[in-house]
Structure formats: C-alpha cells, structure tokens
Chains A and B, each alone.
Chain A
Amino acid sequence: MAAEDAPPAPRRPEPSRAADEPSRPAPPARTRVVLAEASRRQQHRAAGAHTELAQQTRVGEALVRGLVRAQLALALQLSAVVMVGLGGLPWLFAIAPAVGRMTVLGVNLPWLLLGVLSFPFLVAVGWTYVRLAERNEQDFTDLVQRPEH
C-alpha cells in the first residue's frame, strides 16, 4: 500500500516545475566559454595531477612510472618470499636428507609441508599482496585527487 501511495507524491511537483520554468526569469545555465588555446595552456601549467595523467604529460608519466614500479617491487618481493619458502624446499631436502626424514605427528615433514601447509602459505601470500597492492593504489589515488590550491 505504502509503495502504491508513494509515486504520486514526487510526481506532483514535477509538472509544476516544468510549467514554471519557462516563465521564471531563467537563471542562465552556466557555460564557460574559453578559447581552446588558452585552456590547453592553462591545463598544462596548473591543472591537477588527474589531468596530467589523462593528458600524458611528463609529470603524469612520472606518476604512472612510480606506481608501476611500486606494484612491481611488491610483486617481486612476495615472489621472493615464495621462491625461498617453497622453492628452497627441494634443494633443502636434497642437501640435508635428514630434514626429509624428520616426522611431525607421525607424518614425514616433506609430506606435511608440501601436501598440507603449502596451500595456506600461498593463500596468505596472496592475501598480503591484495592488501598491499590496494594500499599502493589508494596512495596513488589520494596523490592524484589531492585538491589543488
């Protein structure tokens, strides 16, 4: 019922506004008339970082390079964690066979490490990456959208 009552209410002002509008001493829609040349020059000099990015200026390019470098460094650091944590295992088992013979709770250590623990480890690294990568992007967004003064 309430839902059926609702629509007419907002509808009413609409026609009246539509009727009013032509008669009102119309506040002219804001239009900015700027010479294309002037506008382009102005943006080059003082526009915000957002425009710098969109227009591929040198500043914008430097910003993007910084972001790409930060994200790549993050990805490489976390791959290094996996390379040592998982990639080191075959080598470790090979040079120190005693490690492979150790048992934990009756299960041989290599079975436990590879068959069970490697999966939560991978998820944990992935989770860390998503958090840190999103933080990098947030920092970048804040930098770009910082109000100019």
Chain B
Amino acid sequence: MGNDLVVPAIVAVTLVTLAIGFYGLRLARTTSDFLVASRVVSPTWNAAAIGGEYLSAASFLGVAGLILKYGVDVLWYPVGFAAGYLALLLFVAAPLRRSGAFTLPDFCELRLGSRRLRTLATIFVIFIGWLYLVPQLQGAGLTLATLAGSPYPVGALVVAAVVTANVALGGMRAVTFVQAFQYWLKLTALAVPAIFLALQWQADGRPAVTPPDGPTFRTATTVVVEHRAVLTLPDGQNLEVRPGDELSFAEGDPVPEVSGVATGATDWLLPSAAGSDDRGLFATYSLILATFLGTMGLPHVLVRFYTNPDGAAARRTTLVVLALVGGFYLLPTIYGVLGRIYTPQLLVSGQTDAVVVLLPEAALGAGTTGRLLAALVAAGAFAAFLSTSSGLLTSVAGVISTDVLGRGSVRGFRLATVIAGVVPTVLALNVSGLDVSQVVGLAFAVAASSFCPLLVLGIWWRGLTDAGAAAGILVGGGAAVTSVLITVLGPPLTGWPATLTAQPAAWTVPLAFTVMFAVSLATRRRSPADVGRTMLRLHAPDALRL
C-alpha cells in the first residue's frame, strides 16, 4: 500500500503504450493500414500480439487468485485458456483466414449470405465484448485501489480513457505493436518476481505449502474483510464477518476456515473425488468445454487472423500463440501456491485476486527488491488490462462501425470506438460486486454456445443453413446468456440450479450444436447455392491460388 514505485511503473506502462500507439499512427496511412494492419504483420509479431491481447486480467490476476482459493480443481482454467488455441488451430484457423472474413458477422454473410444472421451475430459480438470488458476495467480499479490506495473508479476510468484514445487514434496497426510489446512485458512481470519468490522460499527453508495443521500466519497480521463470509475459528466457534470488519492474528496463529474457500489441505491439494459430489465433476467438465471451445468465439481473437497473409501462416501463427500462452500459464500457479504460505490473510479478506500484486512484498519484505518487484508486477497487470481492453474495443468498435453505423471510414471507426468504450465503463463503475474470473468464464461459455457451433459447422459441414445457424445461436447462446444474467443479477441459488447456471457450457454447447444441426437438416432447401465455391475457398491450399 505504501509502495511509492507502483504509480510511476503504471504511468510508465501507460505512456509507453501511448507512445507505441502514436508511432503506429504515423505508419498508418490508409484505411486498410488503420483497420487490419495491411496484413503485413509477421507471424512472430502477430503471435506475440495475439498472446498479448489474450492474456487478460483474468489470466494475470484471476488464475493465481483462484488457485490460492480453490486449489487443484481450478488448474483447468489455465489449461483450458491455452487449449482453446488448440481447438482454434484444429478447426478454424486456416479456413477462417482463407474465407477473408474480418469479423464474425462477416463470416456469417460470406458463408450463408444472410443479412439477418449477420445482425444476430453482431448482437452477440457486442454482448460478449462488453461482458469481457467490464471485468478488465474492474480489475484495473481494484488493482489501483489495492496498491496505491486510490478510490475504485480511478483505475477503471484511467484504463478506459487510455484504451479508447489509443484505439480511436491508432487503430489496428498501432494495436499490433502495442500488443506484442505487452505480451513480453506481462511474461517478464510474472517470470522475474517468480524467480525471486522461489529463491526466497528456498532461503526460508522451504516451508510446507500444506502443513498438516492447516495454513498459519507467518507474521502478525490485521485483516480487513472485503467479502461477507463465515469463519470457523480453531476452537470450533463460527464467526460471521462482513465487509469492513477488522480481525487481528498473531504470528503462528492458524488461518481460520473460511466458508466457500478450500482452506483445508486435502480440499485444496486433491481433485474433487467421485460419489461425494457429482456437481463438482459436472462443473469441471463444463469449465473445460467452455474454455476449450469458447476461445474461437471471442470477437477479439478472430479479428487477428485477418492480419496473417494466408491460411498456412494463420496456422503457424496459432501454433506459436499456443506455445507463448502455454509458457505464460506456467507462472500463475507458482503465485497461487506460494500465496498459501506468504499471504494467507487474503483467504480471510476474500481479496484473492490481489495475490499476484501483493505476494512480492509479502514474501521479500518491503525493502528495495520487494518494492521494485511489486512495481513490476503492477506494471504487468496494467499491461494486461490495457491490451485485452484494446483488443476487445477494436473488435466491438469494428462491428459497430460497419454493422450499426454502416460506415467503413476512419471517422466512423473513431465514433464507434467511443460508443463501444463508454458503455462498459459505465457498467464497470456501477457494478463492483462481480468476480473477475467468473464473469470471464461466463463470456467464454456464451462464445462456446453461440459462435463455436457456427464456425465449426460452417467450415466443415456443407449442410449448414442460415435458419439452422440462427436457431442454434438463439437457443444455445440464448440459454447461456440467460444463465449469465441469472448468475450475475439474479438471487443466489444453491444445488443443481446454481451449478447449471454458474457453469452452463456442458448443457448449452451440446444444445446449440444439436439445434443448429437439426434445423439445418429440416431447412435443407435454404442451403446457399454457392456452398461448393465457398468450401473450395475455405479449404483449397493457398499455393493453388484458385
């Protein structure tokens, strides 16, 4: 909290982001440069840019926080976030690039020739984009509040303003450079402190991650509770705490059990067992399905594929992205695990999302090293907010400018950017009780239940019709959206209804595929006449130049 290096580090990241943006702006001369980087971005740059754009607040902060809180079961988040690129590579990358579609609505029109389907896809792109933008802005607000003690809206507003200005002024070309830079920044910002943390852990005599008597406080700690919870104290007494309550613990005190958190060693260390809890297994498979299949349906991921010169390059780029993203996801686990030793107070306060930014100082002390590393991590976290928000904003703005405003001009794109940026900012300022990773997971579920079947069936099955696609998106995607709204806005649920709405993918994805398939079969006559030509275009090797 008293770290005076954090704000300069964040300011530096923001300024460098803006500087690269303006450098890119000078290079961008034509509308094509502006919107799709003239398709001359090399695979390595493009892969780093895709990785930089993809690794959001949920990856940088949320995954480590979840691991600290729930343990081994949530390792499926990073695995799924990476595996999403494998699904994209296997089923979508090369054909989508060859299709020449820039956005998902473009793909609908190219493949099925339907304006109405295009409109439906536009609505879903905007919904998913905004659903994904809100937690990014929230993460920025929370990080700045945790580290620099600023009021919550400051961080959210700063990120929203910087990103909107940068996207509106620099466009995609600038964004490509910014994103590539930010991938490497994020990797460094997690990797370097992780090395120091591991060394410190060695120097401390390798304290056990799961001591037999449960986690203990290493130093005297005062915890300010942020989320309502029930604590079970060592003497078996239950204590209900509310946000704002202060609790003091002495050195060596055991960490009380917290409701809804895997405090005990076995819950945290071992996967949920069968028999006792079918819902746990259902939720795990639902999460796997959402993350594996949702990535291909995220609007900001697809836009990037247009910047590859051809289908083969798109494939190679995706493979590099998979390696880059996979390498990154080795790191959050280290923070989540060491957080059990050095920052157990976050389990009590409920602010587990802050583990990445608080761990360096907690483990290494408030000396120069600890403060420098904390500033580095904060810079990385801001890079995460800036880059993902830029990517999302670019794609939402692109869709708004072409499909809602109906203009392809640079000025139309700028106007659309402002519109696309204002809405999630207002939402982020008014909703602060949402959990960052949960909302991101829901965005994946919606994408997996709407665009994944559209892309997979559209690319590989001649029989898909516009009516089938629309029905599948409406039923599957609609079910997922309803689940999101119930989870976020509805009353708290328990038991199966809670599981089915909090992790909807395991039933909404098969539903979407089935409906899309069945309705397409029933409306076989509507299959576009030029489907043969489209298939040729999607799948013929680039070398043939057909």
**Residues of A that sit less than 8 Å from B by CB:** 50, 53-54, 56, 60-61, 64-65, 67-68, 71-72, 75, 78-79, 82, 86-87, 90-91, 93-95, 97, 100-101, 108, 110-111, 114-116, 118-120, 122-123, 125-127, 129-130, 133-134, 137-138, 140-141, 144-145
Instruction: State A100–B71 Cα separation when bound (angstroms).
Output: 13
Whether B79 contacts A114 by the Cβ 8 Å rule is yes
| 14 A-B residue pairings within 8 Å (CB atoms) | A53-B546, A79-B87, A79-B90, A82-B83, A94-B274, A100-B273, A108-B270, A114-B75, A116-B330, A118-B79, A123-B323, A127-B319, A137-B543, A138-B541
| B-chain residues with CB within 8 Å of residue A71 when the two chains form the complex | 539
Whether A53 contacts B319 by the Cβ 8 Å rule is no
Whether A90 contacts B539 by the Cβ 8 Å rule is no
Those 7 A-B pairs whose CB atoms lie nearest each other, nearest first? A119-B326, A94-B274, A93-B271, A137-B541, A114-B75, A75-B90, A115-B333
| A-chain residues with CB within 8 Å of residue B541 when the two chains form the complex | 137-138, 140-141
Are A97 and B273 also in contact (CB < 8 A) when A68-B460, A123-B322 are?
yes
| B-chain residues with CB within 8 Å of residue A108 when the two chains form the complex | 72, 269-270
| A-chain residues with CB within 8 Å of residue B184 when the two chains form the complex | none
Count of inter-chain pairs, beta carbons less than 8 A: 135
Whether, in the assembled complex, B422 has its beta carbon less than 8 Å from a beta carbon of chain A, the answer is no
Task: Digitize B295-336: 1 where CB-to-A-CB distance is under 8 Å, 0 elsewhere.
Answer: 000000000000000001001101100110011011001000
| B271 contact from A100, A119, A120, Cβ within 8 A | A100
Shortest beta-carbon distance from A96 to chain B in Å: 9
| B-chain residues with CB within 8 Å of residue A114 when the two chains form the complex | 72, 75-76, 79
Shortest beta-carbon distance from B266 to chain A in Å: 9
Question: Which chain A residue shows the least CB distance to B278?
Answer: A94
| A-chain residues with CB within 8 Å of residue B539 when the two chains form the complex | 64, 67-68, 71
Whether A53 contacts B315 by the Cβ 8 Å rule is no
Question: Which chain A residue shows the least CB distance to B288?
Answer: A87
Instruction: State A53–B536 Cα separation when bound (angstroms).
Output: 8
Whether, in the assembled complex, B82 has its beta carbon less than 8 Å from a beta carbon of chain A, the answer is yes
Instruction: State A94–B87 Cα separation when bound (angstroms).
Output: 25
Instruction: State A116–B329 Cα separation when bound (angstroms).
Output: 9
Q: For chain B residues 509-544, which have a beta carbon within 8 Å of chain A?
A: 532-533, 535-536, 539-541, 543-544
